[in-house]
Amino acid sequence: MLHEEFMSLKETGQKGSFLLPFVVSRTVLPDFYTTFPMHWHNEMEIVYVEEGEFEECINFEYYHVRKGDIVIVNPCVLHSFRQYENERAVFKTIMFDFNMLTGNAADASSIKYFNPFLEGNYLSPKIISPDDSYYYELKECVLEIISTHSKHVNFFEIKIKSELYRLFFVLFSHFFECRNGDTIIKDSTTRNIKIILDYIGENYAKPITIDELAEKVNLSKHYFMRFFKKYMGMTCIEYINDYRLNIAANLLVTTRMQITEVAVSIGITNLSYFNRIFRKKYNMTPKEYRSSVDKTNI
């Protein structure tokens, strides 16, 4: 089923609950969608690939992810994923708020490790594969966290927290590398991309022009179009359409809204245009898409 994260770019929705800001979700590609657009969130994300393969983009670098791989997405990092060719993929995603581990406490763990990590003073691998040293030690932690969350036995919250600490012990011991120097210069490119994508996520339901997006990051229209295509791998219009269509597909699956209402809700008032770009992305009309999903749920 489509993730609620499609409804906003910077994922501001609460992950889990106030008392346990932690979730585990299961994703199957290409069930219902083939891409998840570029986005970012404050939470840490760890992905374990159960089956198949797909492509993950992290800070504008693409990685071919395969069965058994563990993907590490640090907080506030731009990332997206998409189906690889026609391959099917199944993966579990762990997402959690770092306050679970730090609790704003000024102890040795926070001061020496967690806070510097969050400030970008540690280099961390993006993909950890079975061929890597200490992979199986890390995998054991990840699978234990997923299993604990699914069982919800007594005191499972304590178990999840303890396993997260164990996971970071493994990461700091074997995979993270301390950067040289005390300060890290923020990447202006990443900052501008976040501003643009946030604006699209907040305003996709109404007309968006290239001029207003360029103005948001103080770039000329011409330079902005080249800038966006260079770092996103598609034109800005293609991205906006793809973003809107992901939301439309979610609405077709999770609501009984009329197709015209779905189109209008994502900022497209021309139904024939909506049908045309939807068919181009999903190889079927919105009506056919809804019917095909309904049949799989019978």
- With a cut of 50, say whether residue 41 has pLDDT above it: yes
275-298 mean pLDDT: 82
What confidence category does residue 32 fall into, taking pLDDT thresholds of 50, 70 and 90?
A: low
pLDDT exceeds cutoff 70 at 13: no
Among the listed ranges 108-117, 153-162, 236-245, which one has the minimum average pLDDT value? 108-117
The reported pLDDT for the residue numbered 265 is 96
pLDDT at 116: 85
The model's pLDDT over 185-225, given as tens digits with 9 standing for 90+, comes to 346 788 888 899 999 999 999 999 999 999 999 999 999 99
Cβ neighbours of residue 166 closer than 8 Å, sequence gap 6 or more = 141
Q: Any idea which residue has 């699914």 for tokens?
A: 150
What pLDDT, on the 0 to 100 scale, is given for residue 182? 42
Name 161's Cβ contacts closer than 8 Å, sequence gap at least 6. Answer: 100, 101
Model confidence band, residue 15 (pLDDT cutoffs 50, 70, 90): low
Q: What's this model's pTM, rounded to 2 decimal places?
A: 0.70
Nearest to 242 by CA among 53, 29, 33: 33
Q: Mind listing the pLDDT tens digit for each residue in 159-194?
A: 999 999 999 999 999 999 887 644 343 467 888 888
- Report the mean per-residue pLDDT for the chain: 87
pLDDT at site 296? 52
Q: What is the pLDDT of residues 64-121, one digit of tens each?
A: 999 999 999 999 899 999 999 989 999 999 999 988 888 655 677 887 888 888 888 8
What pLDDT, on the 0 to 100 scale, is given for residue 185?
39
- Percent of the chain having pLDDT more than 70? 88
pLDDT for position 276 = 94
Answer whether residue 261 shows pLDDT above 80.
yes
Percent of the chain with pLDDT over 90: 60
HEC sequence for the chain? CCCHHHHCCECCCCCCCCCCCEEEEEEEECCCCCEEEEEECCCEEEEEEEEEEEEEEECCEEEEEECCCEEEECCCCCEEEEECCCCCEEEEEEEECCHHHHCCCCCHHHHHHHHHHHCCCEECCCEECCCCCCHHHHHHHHHHHHHHHHHCCCCHHHHHHHHHHHHHHHHHHHHCEECCCCCCCCCHHHHHHHHHHHHHHHHCCCCCCHHHHHHHCCCCHHHHHHHHHHHHCCCHHHHHHHHHHHHHHHHHHHCCCCHHHHHHHCCCCCHHHHHHHHHHHHCCCHHHHHHHHHHHCC
